[in-house]
Structure 1
Amino acid sequence: MTPPRPAGRRRSSFPRWLLALSLLPAAAFAQVRTNVARLLTTDAAEVIDAPVLGLQRTALPLFGGLSVDTSLYADALLAPNLGLRWAVAAGPHRVALGARYTHFVGASAYSSRVESQEPAIQSFTPELSGPAFYAVYGLSLGPVLVQGEARYARYDSDYLAFTGAVAWNFTDAWSLIAEGGMRVKGGAKLKAAAGVRYGGEHFGMALGAAYVDLSDPALPGKDLPLLPTFDLSWSFR
C-alpha cells in the first residue's frame, strides 16, 4: 500500500502585495503635505489643519474639516472670491469637497486695455463672475498620492474638467507632481501640468508649467499654449 503523501502547501489566491499593504502601519499612509491643499492647478486631497497665507490659497480652518478660503492670485487680478471647503482623511483615503464664488470687478479695466492694444477688437467685455464647485478623491500610499478631481464652474459659460494627478514625496518636504485630464466645454481639450512643490512646516512654494492651449484674439500671438505655475505660502502652525 502506498503511504499517504504529505499534504502540499496550498497557494493562496489573495494577492501578496495587497496583504502587505494591509499590514503597513498607519504612518505609512502619511499625506503628501502641500501646506495649502493645492497641487499645481488642482486641489489636493488634503485636510487644512492650520491657518495659511498663500498666493494660490489663503485659508482659515474652522471645525470638523471645514475651512474658508480665497485665492490671492484672483483677488489681485480684480476677481475677489470666497470659498468654503470640507475635507476628511480616513486611513489612506482622502476626500475634499469645495465651492467658491468669484465676483469679477475688473471688466472695464481689462476691456480698455485689450481694445487699446488690439484695434481690430471693437468690444471686449469679459464675464468672470460666478460659482465653482469641485470634488477630489485621493489615495495615499506611502510617499505617493494618487487622486482624481472633478470641477465645474459657471462664468460666462459652463466649464467642466476632470483631472488626475500623482504626487511623489521624494524627501520629507519636496514632491514631484504630474497632472493630466480633460476640460469639457463644447468638446474635450487636454489639460496638463508638471512641476515641484515644497511643503515645509511653515514655508511652502511651487514651481511648474501648465498646458492650457488657449486661443483668443485678445492674447499676444493669438494663442497661449503654456503658463507658469507659481506659489508661495506660509502656514501658522
Structure 2
Amino acid sequence: MRTNTARLLTTDAAEVIDAPVLGLQRTALPLFSGLAVDTSMYANALLAPNVGLRWAMAAGPHRIVLGARYTHFVGASVYSDVVTSEADTPALQRFEPELSGPSFYGVYGLALGAVLVQGEARYGHYTSDYLSFTGALAFNFAGPWSVVGEAGVRVKGGTTLRAAAGIRYGGEHFGLGLGATYVDMSDPALPGESLPVLPVLDVSWSFR
C-alpha cells in the first residue's frame, strides 16, 4: 500500500519516502539512500515547531524504518492562559506544559500482498519520558484505498491503552486519511474533563 506520507493513522508507516510530499501529518523531502527530512504541520500549527530525520529500507516483503525528531514547544504561555481561564478550581493558578525534546522511533513491517503488518516502538524524552509499542494492520481492499487498524500500549508516561481505526487513500499524488483514535486523555489540571476519542485527519500531495 502507499500512503503518500509514510503515515498510517497515529503511527509511522513501514514504507520508503521516495518523493517530496506536502501533508498535514508529514511534510518531507527525500535525500538519498532512504533518508528524508520531515516535519509535522499539525504540530507546527499547535505551536510545537519540529524537524525530523527518517531512514527507511525495503527488502522484498520486509520494511525497516528508523527515525528521530526534535520538537521545541513555544506555546506554553498560550496554553496556560486557556487552561487557567477555563478551570473551575481557584487552586489552579498556573499551567505550563513542557513538550520540548527529542523522540525516537523504529518500525518493522511485513508486506504480504494486499496486507501490511507492522510494529512500532517509540520513545520520547520530554519533561516526563514516554515509551510506547503499537501494532498496526493495513488492508488494501480496492485500488488506492486501504483500511487501517492500530492497537498498542504506552508502558511509561501517561495513558496505557491506545487504539485507532480508519481509512486511507494513497493515489499517485493526492493522499487522504480519515479515522478516529482512542487516547483515554484526562488531565489532572482539568477535573472531570476527558476526551477519550479524537478524530484523525490527513491530507497530502506528493510531487512525483
**How does the TM-score come out when normalised to structure 2?**
0.96
Q: Output one character per residue of 1:159-205: Cα deviation in whole Å (capped at 9) or x when no partner.
A: 10000000000112000000001011258711100000000000001
**What is residue 104 of structure 2 aligned with on the other side?**
133
CA distance in 2, matches of 1:220, 1:177: 33
Residue of 68, 84, 99 corresponding to 2:37: 68
Residue of 164, 168, 189 corresponding to 1:193: 164
The one-letter amino acid of 2:10's match is T
The one-letter amino acid of 1:146's match is V
Report if aligned partners of 2:159, 2:183 keep a CA contact under 8 Å in 1.
Answer: no
**CA apart distance, 1:217:** 4.0
Distance of aligned partners of 1:106 and 1:66 in 2 relative to their CA distance in 1, 3 Å threshold: same
Q: Output one character per residue of 1:127-183: Cα deviation in whole Å (capped at 9) or x when no partner.
A: 000000000000000000000000000111011000000000011200000000101
1:163 and 2:163 correspond:
no
1:45 and 2:5 correspond:
no
Query: Which has more radius of gyration?
Result: 1
**CA apart distance, 1:122:** 1.6
**CA apart distance, 1:226:** 0.5
Distance of aligned partners of 1:34 and 1:174 in 2 relative to their CA distance in 1, 3 Å threshold: same
Report if aligned partners of 2:131, 2:157 keep a CA contact under 8 Å in 1.
Answer: no
SS of match in other structure, 1:42? coil
Moved more, 183-192 or 147-156: 183-192
Structure 1, unaligned runs of 5 or more: 1-31
Q: Output one character per residue of 1:3-33: Cα deviation in whole Å (capped at 9) or x when no partner.
A: xxxxxxxxxxxxxxxxxxxxxxxxxxxxx10
Matches for 1:8-19 after TM superposition, within 5 Å: none
1:91 and 2:63 correspond:
no
1:33 and 2:2 correspond:
yes
**Root-mean-square deviation (Å):** 1.3
CA distance in 1, matches of 2:9, 2:35: 22
The one-letter amino acid of 1:61's match is P
**What is residue 181 of structure 2 aligned with on the other side?**
210
Name the structure with the higher helix share: 1
CA distance in 1, matches of 2:152, 2:9: 13
Moved more, 109-118 or 69-78: 109-118
SS of match in other structure, 2:142? coil
Structure 2, unaligned runs of 5 or more: none
